[in-house]
Chain A
Amino acid sequence: MRWRANTAIGGTLIALLLGTAVAAAFWTPFDPLRINLKARLQPPSSLHWLGTDEFGRDVLSRLMTGASASVVVALATVLIAVSIGVLVGGVAGYLRGWTDRIIMAVNDALLAFPGILLALAVMIVVGANKTGLVLALGLAYIPSVARVVRGTVLSIREREYIEASRVIGNSEFYSMVRHVLPNAMAPVAVLATSMFGWVLLAESALSFLGLGVPPPAPTWGNMLAASRPYMETAAWLSVAPGLCIALTLLGINLLGDSLRDRLDPRMAHG
């Protein structure tokens, strides 16, 4: 029941998002970068459905183009964080002993940094661009994933069915990939979906603090940060990207929930 509702709503939202991102590559109502100084800060109208920004650029076109940029950045960051995090956490939990201790010491050291500020410093070093942002945020989020995965691996590898699998004669590595990893996927899915949202927001917070994906190329985050001085006089500038982020997150989270329900054997019959 719930699974279907989640999937339906989440799926619709994400399909819309992806559709927009793809469509923007071929067509937008206006050129998202075209500056028109005679039409600055215009409220939504029949010509500009979502109004124009401080350079007279069409907000709807920028939102559409921004969809793909934001999604690519968020996906890439989550992919990096999850893949490296699962690998590192899995190895630590699987091998245990000294490897585990060393990996976890490094991991804890990284985890002890305030995420956004670590990203800020890394971005100053590698440069404020999409690659820099993905690297910086990816690095900031790897340790959380690694920690969760390690914890799950440690707790699951002692369970009876793993033991049983070993007794049957399966190699430890096989048991691990076959049984342990799927079980670790549930918490990782929750984390990854939240992380997707964090990335969208972190990007805007970084722009707010002075460094994000450099405009003029739009992302939702930098649009939101740029709208700040106009919150009172031109509210549409912040509402539109804010709502896009919120709806995307809702969609991702709902899909993430249903994904988790399918992946997690204990939750299958909820």
Chain B
Amino acid sequence: MNARRPSCVMMAGLIALAAMLAAAPVRAGAETLLRTRLNADIRSTDPGTNRDANTDGVMAHLVEGLVAFRDDTSIGPMLADSWDVSNDGKTYTFHLRQGVKFHNGAVMTSADVVWSLKRWLDPATQWRCLSEFSASGIAQIEKIEAPDTQTVAITLDRATALFLPTLARPDCGQAAIIHHDSVGPDGKWIAPVGTGPFKLGDWKRGQYVDLVRFDGYVARSEPRSGNAGAKTADVDRVRFNIIPDSSAAKAGLLSGALDVVSNLSIPDLEDLKGRPDVQLSITPALGLTGILFQTRDPLLKDLRIRRAIALSLDTPEIVDAVMEGTARANNSALPIGSPFYGEAEAHGYTQNVAEAKKLLVQAGYHGQPIKMIANKRYSYVFDSAVLVQAMAQSVGINIEIEVLDWAAQLDRYNRGDYQSMAFTYSARLDPSLSFEMLTGPKATQPRKVWDNPEAQVMMQQSMMIDDKAKRQELFDEMHRRFIDDVPMVVLFNGSEIAGLRKNVKGYAGWLFAQPRFWGVSIR
């Protein structure tokens, strides 16, 4: 008897509650609310300092820089309407946009730009990208001047092709121009008073971040492209719910509790296809997933063994299975979406089992185990490792997978302490940076996978020159050497998959795996 009572009460309560929920109006008033998801809370509201990819994505709605990345990774105007570069390539003169308003109503002038840039360069700000502007970085900033209220001139100590791309980098907080009310009199961060189409609303840590439409925003006239172009807020409020578990997020989308779920995992795709009330947005992304080899390892220092592994793989089949047709095979360090991705880059490894076996015999390999580190934080990394293991097995290579958590894998990566690992790099928006993340001297930078001095020289050259054809030549040559050296096997660039309710209009993913909610409306 007693056993039944609590469960009866529970059932009754459940039914009563359900009835109440059904009766309660879901949306009160005329406010339009777009509900989306973050897989982890943002780190802070202080862009470019205490940040991660989620933080960058949210901040891109609140603040803007002088320039911004377009959809094709080229640089477009944002708060600067145009700019001139001096003949020696060292001085950039920015002509600011007229009548841009901060969230507090103040009109932006060159003084705000100078103040913001100087704040970024102040070591106390702890800007993530400060080291880029140090002696070991791309260039040092020698002078920041404001000849009039609408002009800012920046002088560098040397010419570089990477100055504007670095300013535009989302992880650098887009070197945002903010109002000085964003910080207190002591210089401590309070909240972003930026120029973006949204203002920061309520931030309930661990639960949600709200963005509210900024009514004083005047959009640029060019069409929306990347973080550049027209940014109009078509909804009153955007709520980023913090939902770590992707199955739960998917359930939220299906039940209508969420309107947009980005960063969907591949297994979810299967389930969402063919649902009448859900649409999918699939865009190629700029990340890079592949198998890294430690070329200092006693076994893997033998090029023939590395090459044998590469030749044992049917990359298109791996990519097809792992990404379920949402991504294309790519053995190049440059992402497929890059404007520099040409015919040379499309030339990679072709599966050749006989050749692989021959190389193994020559190298005297007889089944010594090769450890491969993988993680389960990114399902596609783990799945790639499983398929590589199976295919390598078929030519007689004995790979053992070791699963680590992401932080532990990063530690091994940074120390170069591995035989091989399945790894995923985050997006690099410039081809020079794509090579920079791979090549370097292992003695001083153990995380670099490709230790080839000639390639490093070419990489440095590609950073200095601005001429597209010359850069292309360098990248093509580096690609050929990269394929010959087999320091790693690149498999594919990821894809950004978002699930949307049918009534969401205007959403588009882009190369950078961060959702954008300007220009998005709910019908």
Contact = CB atoms under 8 A, between A and B. Distances in A.
> Do any beta carbons of A and B sit within 8 angstroms of each other in the complex?
yes
A265 interface: no
A232 to B, nearest CB: 6
B387 A35 contact: yes
B404 interface: yes
A228 interface: yes
Contacts of B508: none
B270 A233 contact: yes
B305 to A, nearest CB: 22
A221 to B, nearest CB: 13
Given A37-B317, A40-B321, A229 B247 contact: yes
A35 B383 CA distance: 11
What class of interface size applies to chain A in its complex with B? Answer: 20 to 34
B349 to A, nearest CB: 19
A174 interface: no
A55 B386 contact: yes
Interface in A200-231: 210-211, 214-216, 228-231
A214 B247 contact: no
A35 B393 CA distance: 11
Interface in B285-338: 317, 320-321
A115 interface: no
B475 to A, nearest CB: 33
B401 A214 contact: yes
Contact of B404 (A33, A55, A128, A215): A128
A230 B267 CA distance: 7
A242 interface: no
A120 to B, nearest CB: 9
A215 B265 contact: no
B377 interface: yes
Interface in B470-499: none
B317 A229 contact: no
A43 interface: no
B390 A211 contact: no
A214 B375 CA distance: 10
Contacts of B387: 35, 55
Contacts of A230: 267, 270-271
A54 B267 contact: yes
A243 interface: no
Contacts, number: 56
Contacts of A128: 402-404
B402 A35 contact: no
Interface string A30-58: 00011101001100000000000011000
A216 B271 contact: no
Nearest to A211: B405
A37 to B, nearest CB: 5
Contacts of A34: 390
A233 B324 CA distance: 15
Q: Most A CB atoms within 10 A — which of B268, B320, B321?
A: B321
What class of interface size applies to chain B in its complex with A? Answer: 20 to 34
B403 A214 contact: yes
A38 B377 CA distance: 26
A129 B402 contact: yes
B408 interface: yes
B267 A216 contact: no
Contacts of B262: none
A232 B405 contact: no
Contacts of A33: 390
B323 to A, nearest CB: 12
A239 interface: no
Given A216-B401, A233-B270, A35 B386 contact: yes
B505 to A, nearest CB: 28
A151 interface: no
Interface in A109-138: 124, 127-129
A190 to B, nearest CB: 22
B265 A229 contact: yes
B267 A229 contact: yes
B271 A210 contact: no
Given A35-B386, A229-B267, A230-B270, A127 B321 contact: no
A228 B408 CA distance: 24
B358 interface: no
A129 B404 CA distance: 10
A35 B377 CA distance: 22
Contacts of A37: 317, 320-321
Nearest to A129: B402
Q: Most B CB atoms within 10 A — which of A35, A40, A41, A214?
A: A214
26 contacts: A35-B387, A37-B321, A40-B321, A54-B267, A124-B405, A124-B408, A128-B403, A129-B402, A210-B405, A211-B376, A211-B403, A214-B374, A214-B402, A214-B403, A215-B386, A215-B401, A215-B403, A216-B386, A216-B390, A229-B246, A229-B265, A229-B271, A230-B270, A230-B271, A232-B271, A233-B271
Given A55-B321, A211-B405, 16 more contacts: A34-B390, A35-B387, A37-B317, A37-B320, A41-B270, A55-B383, A55-B386, A124-B408, A211-B376, A214-B401, A215-B382, A215-B386, A216-B401, A228-B247, A230-B267, A233-B271
* 9 residue pairs, one from A and one from B, having the closest CB atoms: A229-B267, A214-B403, A35-B390, A37-B321, A128-B403, A216-B386, A210-B376, A233-B271, A124-B405
Interface of A: 33-35, 37, 40-41, 54-55, 124, 127-129, 210-211, 214-216, 228-233
